A and B are shown apart, each in its own frame.
Chain A
Amino acid sequence: MILLRLAMRSLVARRLTVGLTIFAVALSVALFLGVEKVRTGAKASFGDTISDTDLIVGARSGSVQLLLYSVFRIGNATNNVSWESYQDIAARPEVDWIVPISLGDSHRQFRVMGTTAEYFERYKYRSGRSLEFVQGRAFDDLFDAVIGADVAATLGYRLDDPLVVAHGLASFVSHDNQPFRVAGILAKTGTPVDRTVIVSLGAIEAIHVDWQGGAQIRGQATTPDEIRQMELSPGAITAAMIGVKSRLQIFALQRSINQYPEEPLLAVLPGVALQELWGIVGIAETALVAVSGMVVATALLGMAAMIFSGLNERRREMAILRAVGARPSTIMGLLMLEAVLMAAIAALLGIALLYAGLWIMRPYVDAAFGLYLPLEPLSSREGLVVVAVIVAAAATSIFPALRAYRLSLSDGMTVRN
């Protein structure tokens, strides 16, 4: 007890250097844990992006690319899936449900996705959660649009507001003559759906009625009412989400889609593709962990250096301890105890810094990156990291402590300066 109190008092007496050292270690711990939190948060929200969908079908490319454009709305499809192929697949006996996705247009900075009303039932995220409407409902008119939470928040849209879809992405040509209406606003999901404008598949066709080969046909302007009378069956879609009747059929269906003779198609299992994608992102992840680990090691070395540099001034103190009966090993232990105390205080401070940082940064990170960082207690892995830091501090302090051991052996009760 008295030794613990002495160690604390000794640290308090050297509060400036000790405080700076603790702060450095605390910052490194906060950084390391922050990286852990972001990493696991990113991985979780990444893996939560799509669930309960058995296969995603698109034109033949790579599985990662298909996943990126169909689910994450990153990049573009190199090719489309013809409506005939889509119907062929939909007619297969294994298919329980199929939802088409048609991408390529945008509204302001947000992607526009054409699909069927079934999308709102079938799309699931975060292990089986369904989309929910904050306001309104799914589209029933041709020019109805459902917008994600971020779209509504960023553009300030409310129900029944008009919106205009631009052709292509980042294009200045707008489909001015077919204004859409906000029919529903979705609740925040933390997935790319938040940043999507969802319209019916027919609507995608409708806005292209007067267009041909990517350009507007001169002098031709069909009114919305005329369009409503037209037969709007799509020529092609971008991708489709499929649910099968029995999970056992997934691979058979995947194989037959991949070998579809009429058109080169690709079917992927979302989970497998997600893992493949994370495998690529994972290199950066490992690098991040390694760098923050180095920062912790640097801070601990700084602490060892601080203990080392203090040893000479503390020889008198060691002589006093020896005189009252402390063994050299007790003095060694006292120094290591100080290091462990510093590391423990630093770890607690680091955890406090982490949660303060998370609390402050969370809304911003969520808004800017769609990354949801839960304010959860430390995971067992993170707890292990904290323990490892304290153990590493004890291990690092062995070197100055050994030096103190030797000094106190040779000095005894006298101090030669």
Chain B
Amino acid sequence: MNARSALALDQVSFHWAGHDDFGLKVPDFRLKPGERVLLLGESGSGKSTLLSLICGINAPQAGSIQVDGTELTTMRPAARDRFRAEKIGIVFQQFNLLPYASPMDNILLPLRFAPERRARVGDARGAALALTDALGLARAAMTSSTADRLSVGQQQRVAVARALIGAPSLIVADEPTSALDANSQSNFLDLLFAQCAAAGSTLLMVSHDERLAPRFDRSVRMKDIATLSREAAA
């Protein structure tokens, strides 16, 4: 507890409301600031549940979750939503963007819910374009009227720009590369790492692909940090 962790889960215990049989326990899981960590786990290993706890979508019944030194479990749901907008950038596997909105509006969207992050950014459009330039997105793609006209690879880069704008302290990426081919995967990771480093953000990436492990500071297996109980499950 001496050095502040970017993320700290302590004796966390969670079960879905009305499903006492499905429970997730995380005794101790920490990320150091600026660390790049790969969380390995098969589907059904409780990854999604863990991410929803870290992002403050759901609250555990017991234990403590701290992001950048702030305790999430004692916050009210609305405050957790606001906190997520301010502090956490999220990239999904695919379909990250609102298809009808422009790429620019997609990137600026989190700032709408995060006034401090917005103030930190200053010129939001300029910052968005700087990010997409760094991510190798052509300006032509940015002027596209709607995000659904972009290729999957382009969409993932826009999603990264959205997660990174305003330099949130934690980036959570849920299998962001699985929709990309091997070559694009490697490229994408290079860009992601570079931008996380530039923003000083800690990266937690979830994947089932162990081949990615050497590229991270550290890789953790889901089953090593969490126990899943589903006694009555079929």
Contacts and interface: CB of A to CB of B under 8 A. Distances in A.
Given A12-B100, A325-B114, A414-B48, A5 B57 contact: no
B191 interface: no
Interface stretch (A84-92, A254-262, A316-324): A316-324
Interface string B48-71: 100110010110000000000000
Contacts of B146: 9, 13
A325 B110 contact: yes
Given A325-B85, A412-B58, A2 B108 contact: yes
Nearest to B111: A2
Interface string B74-116: 0001100110111000101001111111100100111011100
A412 B113 CA distance: 16
A330 B77 CA distance: 13
Contacts of B96: 320
Interface residues of A, number: 24
A324 B97 contact: no
Contacts of B48: 413-414
Contact of A414 (B52, B108, B110): B52
Interface string A314-342: 00110011111111011000000000000
Contacts of B92: 320, 323, 413
A388 interface: no
Contact of B112 (A2, A9, A14, A412): A2
Contact of B84 (A3, A5, A14, A325): A325
B113 A320 contact: no
A210 B55 CA distance: 105
B162 interface: yes
Given A325-B81, A325-B113, A5 B58 contact: no
B51 A3 contact: no
Nearest to B57: A412
A6 B108 CA distance: 11
Contacts of A320: 92, 95-98
A6 to B, nearest CB: 6
A13 B100 contact: yes
A215 B85 CA distance: 97
A10 interface: yes
A284 B86 CA distance: 61
Contacts of B57: 322, 412-413
B65 to A, nearest CB: 15
A323 B112 contact: no
Nearest to A323: B90
A316 B95 contact: yes
Contacts of B95: 316, 320
Given A2-B109, A2-B112, A324 B58 contact: no
Nearest to A415: B95
B98 A323 contact: no
Interface in A1-39: 2-3, 5-6, 9-10, 12-14
Given A6-B98, A321-B98, A323-B55, 15 more contacts: A2-B105, A2-B109, A9-B98, A9-B146, A13-B100, A320-B92, A321-B109, A324-B85, A324-B162, A325-B81, A325-B84, A330-B113, A413-B51, A413-B57, A414-B52
15 contacts: A2-B105, A2-B108, A6-B100, A9-B98, A9-B100, A9-B101, A9-B146, A10-B98, A10-B100, A321-B98, A324-B90, A326-B113, A412-B57, A412-B58, A413-B90
Interface of A: 2-3, 5-6, 9-10, 12-14, 316-317, 320-327, 329-330, 412-414
- For the complex of A and B, list the 8 residue pairs with the smallest distance between their C-beta atoms, beginning with the closest: A325-B85, A13-B100, A325-B113, A412-B57, A324-B110, A323-B90, A327-B81, A9-B100
